[in-house]
Every structure is written in structure tokens, then in C-alpha cells.
Amino acid sequence: MGKTLNDIMSKIIVTGGAGFIGSHYVFHEAAFPQVQYSIENPVETNEINVRGTLNVLEASRINKVKRAIFASSSAVYGNQEILPINENMQINPLSPYGAQKYIGEVYMKLYSKSF
């Protein structure tokens, strides 16, 4: 018999609009994704986009989740002359939002390697 939606959803946690569901996998989508607002409110957006990501990673570590997936942004690369942007391009955030997303990437890699 195939898996029911309930079987699948009980093993996945999603942050953001979908709320928290299960604990085996984490899809971290929650953020304050506004470039201009981050320029005007860098500390407040840092709390949400950086500390929030760290909180999710810590909760994931403590609860021994198998895998965490993070929604980053092209804003980590700033303005590039060549399009489309790809992940081999130089990191060059031009806003607190871009910097905060890059810090999120660094934390994701760190937790993946260290814990």
C-alpha cells in the first residue's frame, strides 16, 4: 500500500507560512524577504533572517533531523553583469537581506559539516 499524505507530512517540518509539521526533515522558508526594508531595518531583519535561521538549525540539531533545506536568494550575488546568475559566481551582497541570506548559507554548511 502506498504512503498516505499523513505518513509523509509527519516526517517533514516546514518553517514560514505552512507552520511546523513533523521533525525528520526541515524546509526553512521563513524570512523577512524585503531588500528595501532590510536596508532601513538591518537589525530587525537580522533577528529574523539570521537568528531565526540559527534557531531552526539548533532545533534541528537537538532533534536530530536528517536533513535541513534552506531557501537562500540571488541577493547574495548582488548585481551581476552576466545572467542568469549561478552558484559559481562571486558572492557580493548589496543589502543586509543579501548578507543575511549568505550568513544563512554559511550556517547551513557549518551545521551540515560539524553536527
Ligand X SMILES: NC(=O)c1ccc[n+]([C@@H]2O[C@H](COP(=O)([O-])OP(=O)(O)OC[C@H]3O[C@@H](n4cnc5c(N)ncnc54)[C@H](O)[C@@H]3O)[C@@H](O)[C@H]2O)c1
Give buried/exposed letters for 31-59 (b at 16+ CB in 10 A, else e).
Answer: bbbeeeebeeeeeebbebbbebbeebbeb
Size of the site for ligand X (CB under 6 A): 11
Among 12, 21, 59, 71, binds ligand X (CB under 6 A): 71
> What's the min distance (Å) between Cβ of 7 and ligand X?
25
Residue ranges in 14-53 that form contacts with ligand X under rule CB under 6 A = 16-17, 29-33, 48, 52
Q: Which H or E element spans position 27? A: strand 25-28
**Residue 107 among the catalytic residues:** no
Tell me whether residue 33 or residue 65 sits nearer to ligand X (CB atom). Answer: 33
- Considering the rule CB under 6 A, would residue 99 count as an interface residue with ligand X? no
Contact 25, 67 (CB under 8 A): yes
Q: Which three cell numbers stand for residue 85?
A: 546568475
- The amino acid that residue 20 corresponds to is F
Binding positions for ligand X, rule: CB under 6 A: 16-17, 29-33, 48, 52, 71, 73
**Catalytic residue list:** 97
